[in-house]
Amino acid sequence: MVVKAAASLELVQETPYRWRIERQGAMRVPGVVFTTRELLPDLSADQSLAQVAAVATLPGVVEAVYAMPDVHWGYGFPIGGVAATDVDRGGVVSPGGVGFDISCGVRLLLADLHLDRLRPRLTALMDALADAIPRGMGRGAVWRPRGTAELEGILAGGARYAVERGHGEPADLDRCEDRGALADADPGAVGARARERGLEQVGSLGSGNHFLEVEAVTEVYDERIAQTYGLWPGRVCVMIHTGSRGLGHQICTDFVRRMETAMDRYGISVPDRQLACAPVSSAEGGAYMGAMAAAANYGRANRQLLGQATRHAFDRAVGHGDLTVLYDVSHNLAKIETHGSRRLCVHRKGATLALPPGHEDLPPDLRPVGQPVLVPGSMGAGSYVLAGVPDSPAFASACHGAGRRLSRHQAVKTTTAARLRAELQAAGIVVRGASARGLTEETPEAYKDVDAVVDACEGAGLARKVARLAPVGVVKG
């Protein structure tokens, strides 16, 4: 089947879950979209597929530019986009391929507690979480670094540094991507304004689509993997979704400007200034990679701190604060990885790393079954835990969420805060902390159907379903 995607783009359906954008014009590789016909973006309003084609023009790009089932329009790269460049053949890194919220990601905590035991204390727990979790666009955080030295420690050491300072347990790091810190972080590449913003926000949730959600396992699809992960029906879980806050935003802003002015020196032209880039091996590329890694470490420390604050809230409200980490993984990052014989800079923007069984970067207890892939749905709709699979396409990547269908401006026109709160309450979901506008911007109507997105992800061979989680309480900014 051939679908006209735009004036100059044609989508060719290869399988029920895979579509191809043929090379044309300046494209160096094709585009590949993992989706169903029903989940395709609204081509009259969403430019994400044109963005896939634009990314395919970047120097050094290899294989294909991939779009996940939750793809939608973003800054430069589409959200849900994956692209790799060959570092040793002039491959570039683009801040737009990571996004403003560097290392935005998800942590899933497991309580040794059945939902039936939590229900009588759920309101008290949500009140305790509302008190314990700083959120919103302003200041306020679990930990205010005391000057430059502590901030440097966070930027260099990430979640590891937070644990060293008493915020968590060493075992937490075994279940974190890169054991909680990227080794190639360069705090010296982080500008003064980014540092200033970072001092105020480490250990805070933020606003927008960031959240802390208390959930329970409702369905198990793969008993063997679920047993390894520790997921059983009724088990209480906590999902934390946040990133590097204003520090990461500032780093992206600074380096887009810097790379815009540098491209001429390297003979690079791009179809959209939001794709500003530089060779990974250049001074600008190296500085961005170092600053981005420092922001990623900040994001990981952020989730570590919020996880520890969650334990304290559970202890106070329920008398049960012994929560364990299932996994913590980013979905906005560029990493140097080896694929075959090539050293690649893999951009994942709104896409989750999904390591297969046997991968050396997994902890020994997870290695036989593959990496947990954490996929939050829209507010009130539930979330999924998937697992990485062997021989997956797209450089071992998977979807990162439901994927926005409506802009925030459009979303607020579809409902009211009072109506949405009533609907969530009727569904047994306790909401804390959301402003009226913040709540309506995140209405479930603004997102794709997460069940359909996950089914497409599995159908495309990107990951496999392990368990579904249903929300019972949510804290939002």
CATH topology (fold) of 2-405+447-476: tRNA-splicing ligase RtcB (3.90.1860)
CA distances from 316 to 12, 53, 73, 136, 310 (A): 56, 52, 42, 23, 10
| pTM for this entry | 0.95
Q: Mean pLDDT, consecutive 10-residue segments, the chain of 477 residues?
A: 55 96 96 96 87 98 97 95 98 97 97 97 96 80 86 97 96 97 97 94 90 97 98 98 96 97 96 97 98 98 97 96 96 96 97 97 97 91 96 96 82 85 88 80 83 97 98 90
The yes-or-no answer on residue 167 being catalytic is no
pLDDT of residue 1: 44
* Domain spans, the chain: 2-405+447-476
Dist CA 287 CA 291 (whole Å) = 6
Integer Cα distance of 66 and 70 in angstroms: 12
Among 72, 210, 331, 400, the active-site one is 400
Q: Give the pLDDT of residue 4.
A: 45
User: Which pLDDT belongs to residue 45?
Assistant: 81
Over the range 159-190, which residues count as b (16 or more CB within 10 Å of their CB) and which as e?
A: bbbbbebebbeeebbbbbbbbbbbeebbbebb
DSSP three-state, residue 108: strand
State CA 415 to chain mean position distance: 26
DSSP H or E segment with residue 4: strand 2-6
Q: What is the pLDDT of residue 138?
A: 61
pLDDT at 187: 97
- Degrees, nearest 5: CA angle 70-72-76: 130
157's enclosing H/E stretch is: helix 148-164
| Residue 299 near residue 103 (C-beta atoms within 8 A) | yes
The predicted-structure confidence for 181-202, as pLDDT tens digits, reads as follows 999 999 999 999 999 999 989 9
- What value, to the nearest 5°, has the Cα angle with vertex 199 and ends 322 and 328? 35
- Mean residue pLDDT across the chain: 93
